Amino acid sequence: MRWGAVIVAAGRGERFGGPKQLVDVAGRPLVAWSIAMFGSMPEIVDLVVATEPEHAEAMRDLARRYAPRLEARVVHGGPTRQESVRLALAALADRCSAVLVHDGARPLVLSVDVRAGMRVVRPGVASLLAQPVVDTIKVVDPGREVVMRTLDRATLWAAQTPQFATVPDLRRAHADAHKHGVGATDDAALLERAGLDVVVVRASNENFKVTAPADRERAEAILVARGALPVEEEEVLLVEAYVAGDTALSVARELEARRGRVDAIERDLPDAVVVRAFVPAEDLRGFGDRFAALAGASAIYTTHHAHYAPRPSEQAS
């Protein structure tokens, strides 16, 4: 699948005390951390940012700086988050077959979690990052502030973003909700309403949303502690391509041409051949388009973080 990313960076930041999209966090504007994350992932070929009109040019500048390989577009957000996403989906490039939607106020999302959410998506099946609830949740009468009942926390998960689906499925869910005047606070609720299976993917508990000034300070501390990947190392991904048998060798050769090491070609599946290879992440840029040309539009591949390895110059020394 060729992935598009939608970042929702609209809103007035009432709980934060003002707009937070561009507030500095560890040396970057808040939303720039998400832009840079998706810009670094070769699986993502398109980026749309929904924001307030007065921030549009600043968002374009951030996209050019932190995701220079992507042809990013900026759209004006709507009066609600749901409307902002619907407008952003309309601006997504036609070549994208799947899409993730992320809140720009979550700067700590990890690529390993994003890839875990991507892996389960197919027509009729969506996913979202989430964390199991650890607190006991009470349902309270809003008028009297009296507990009405206690929920079983064993069944409760706190939704995060990104949330993932095929482009047709998410557009259909939003269009139907818009037609019938149905509102929701996240995309997963609309996908559930549209009849999709929505898979929960457990994510890092650091993927919180910055809603108050104290959250900004916490996020900054975590980002500083994480530091940057040493320049002498590169990320290596495990690529699993599911293709027709007569295209398997062509796909394997393409992966090898990208400094990939083919680990296996398994032909015992009933409906496909699986090509597995370890490939440096930076060499997968543009692979989605090439893969579709070699294996067909219906073929799919997934990526998993495998390890970090020395860059070739270090190996040569």
Domain ranges of the chain: 3-226, 233-316
pLDDT, position 229: 63
| Burial class of residue 263 in the structure, from the number of CB atoms within 10 Å of its CB (0-12 exposed, 13-18 middle, 19+ buried) | middle
pLDDT tens-place string over residues 10-61: 876 555 655 788 999 999 999 999 999 999 999 999 999 999 999 999 999 9
Fold of 3-226: Spore Coat Polysaccharide Biosynthesis Protein SpsA; Chain A (3.90.550)
pLDDT, position 18: 59
Q: Within its chain, how far is the Cα of 238 from the centroid?
A: 18
Per the structure block, which two tokens stand in for 143? 């008028």
Phi, psi of 256 (to 5 degrees): -65, -35
pLDDT, position 12: 65
Fold of 233-316: Alpha-Beta Plaits (3.30.70)
pLDDT, position 314: 46
pLDDT, position 271: 85
pLDDT, position 19: 73
Q: Do domains 3-226 and 233-316 have the same CATH topology?
A: no
pLDDT, position 313: 65
pLDDT, position 317: 40
The answer to whether residues 43 and 288 touch, using CB atoms and an 8 Å cutoff, is yes
pLDDT, position 293: 94
- Stretches where the chain sits below pLDDT 50 are 314-317
